[in-house]
Structures are given as C-alpha cells and as structure tokens.
Amino acid sequence: MVDVAARPAATRPAVSPVAAAPARSGRLLALGGRALHRSVALLALAAIWETVPRTGLVDRVFLPPLSEVLVAWWELLRSGQLAEHVGASLTRSLTGLALAVVTAIPLGLLIGWYRPLADLLSPLLEVFRNTAALALLPVFVLILGLGETSKIALVLYACSWPILLNTIAGVKGVDPLLVRSARSMGLDHLRLFQKVILPASVPTIFTGVRLAGAYSILVLVAAEMVGAKAGLGYLVNYAQYNFAIPDMYAGIITISAIGLVVNQLLVAGERRFSTWRVDVTTA
C-alpha cells in the first residue's frame, strides 16, 4: 500500500513517429534561438570592440580592433609563448588551490566540529579573512622571495579562506535532527562524523572550492605582475611595458577564458555533489 503522491514521472505522452521530425527541427530552432539570445550581448561587445577603434572614436593604438587582437593571440599561440604562459599560470594556481583544499578542508572540519577550537580561533580567522590577500603580497615576496613559492603561497592563502569558512559553515549547518537521530542509534563521534556530518557538509564545502577556484586565478594574475618571468599576468604586464598592445589584450582575453572554463567545471562539480539538496532548498 502506497500513498498516491510522488508517482514516477513516466506519464509523459509519447511522440508519434510522424510528428517526430518537425518536432525535432522545431526543438533545434528553439535551441539555436536560445543560444543566440544568450550570446547576443557578447557578440555586441565584439562588434563594438571591432568598430569603435576603426571609426576613430578611441585611439586604436590603445584599443586595437578585436580582429587585430585575435591575430596577435593566434601568433602567440603559434609561437608557443601562450602555452608557456598558460602552463606557468595554471601550474601555480592549481598547485595553490590543491594545497588549499587539502589543508583548509580538514582544518575547517576540525574547527566546525570542536567548539572550543572555534571559539579560540575565530577572532584570528576574522582578522585574517578581512586582510586583502594582495596586501600581503609584499610580505610573501619579502619572506619567500620572488620565485614560485611566494606566488603559490599567495594563491594558497587566498584560496584557503572561502574553503575554510564554507567548511566550517557546512559542519555547523548540519541539521541537528539528523545528528540526534544518528546519536539515538548509538553512533560514536567518529562514525557520526563520517556518516552524517561529512556527507551533509559536502555541498557547502564544494561551494567554497568553487569560490576558491575563481580566487586562485584572480590573485595569481596580480602576483605575476610583480616579479615573474612567465605567466599570464606577466604576459599582460610585459606586453604593456613594451607597447605590444594587441598582445596585452590577447593575454587578458585568455585570462577571462580560463576563468570561465574553471568556473564552469567547478559549477558542474558542485551540482554533481549536491543533487540531493533540492529537498533542502524547496522545503
């Protein structure tokens, strides 16, 4: 015997084979229309970027038309320079992000779980959290030198906060009823943590990782503008120094593209980890 509600959603009417072909082309059209709708703003930006320098509204030396920038980008790609800079940047930001993940998540779990530790550390966390990462760049350079270490350390530092704070929030936000229920079954602390607290906080933790992913590129580019011999930040800064303006814009476009891709990947990952959360958000 079963309640009437929540039947499987298998009642969708089947499409007859005759109607299928026009329906499919219609759906393709709708898909194309939506894609157009979503890219129209970007296309407009590209068009403006192309025409405004050409009509002389702005000095084309400072803002070359998009086509020239793309040509410069293609040249950078062909010469292998772009790959080198992207490789250098990605290595740094991914290393920093990975280090932040492996240090901040366990630390956040500990702080979220042990209240005394949270009370002890929270004033310290507040101070550091509100200190802009880039303000500390000179300190990192002073102590760790100009090499890779200082840049990775800066990324690690910047990425740690969103992960740490989200992990703490995730652990603290676990539904107390679930904890009560698990405790009533006699679970000890370790198993309670492993079977309830950890899985319950995974979505929140992953939100932190996604934010950190964005930060990792943001702060790295800035760090690379100060004393680096490779990397996208270096490329942008160096190109500007040498008045290779199209190269500079090519570097900027690449940074945006990477940021976009990283974010999309992490959003997809986040969605995968939190499918069960629909319940929480709708109820």
Contacting residues toward another protein, per CB under 8 A:
1-3, 5-6, 175, 177-178, 180-187, 191, 195-196, 199-200, 202, 275-280, 282-283
Nearer to another protein, 16 or 282 (CB): 282
* Shortest distance (Å) from residue 210 CB to another protein: 19
* Shortest distance (Å) from residue 105 CB to another protein: 18
Q: What string of DSSP letters covers 135-200?
A: GGHHHHHHHH-SSHHHHHHHHHHHHHHHHHHHHHHHHHTS-HHHHHHHHHTT--HHHHIIIIIHHH
Nearer to another protein, 127 or 185 (CB): 185
Nearer to another protein, 130 or 184 (CB): 184
Nearer to another protein, 49 or 193 (CB): 193
* Shortest distance (Å) from residue 196 CB to another protein: 7
Contacts 24+ apart (CB under 8 A), 266-274: 266/206, 266/209, 266/210, 266/213, 267/210, 269/206, 269/209, 269/210, 270/203, 270/206, 270/207, 270/209, 270/210, 273/202, 273/203, 273/206, 274/202, 274/203, 274/206
Nearer to another protein, 71 or 178 (CB): 178
* Shortest distance (Å) from residue 173 CB to another protein: 13
Q: In sequence order, which residues have a C-beta less than 8 Å from that of residue 84 and are 6 or more positions away?
A: 230
Q: Nearest CA to 63 among 248, 221, 232?
A: 248
Any alpha helices (H) in the chain, and if so which ranges? Answer: 17-54, 66-78, 81-113, 115-129, 137-144, 148-172, 176-184, 189-192, 198-224, 232-241, 245-273, 278-282
Nearer to another protein, 112 or 233 (CB): 112
* Shortest distance (Å) from residue 274 CB to another protein: 9
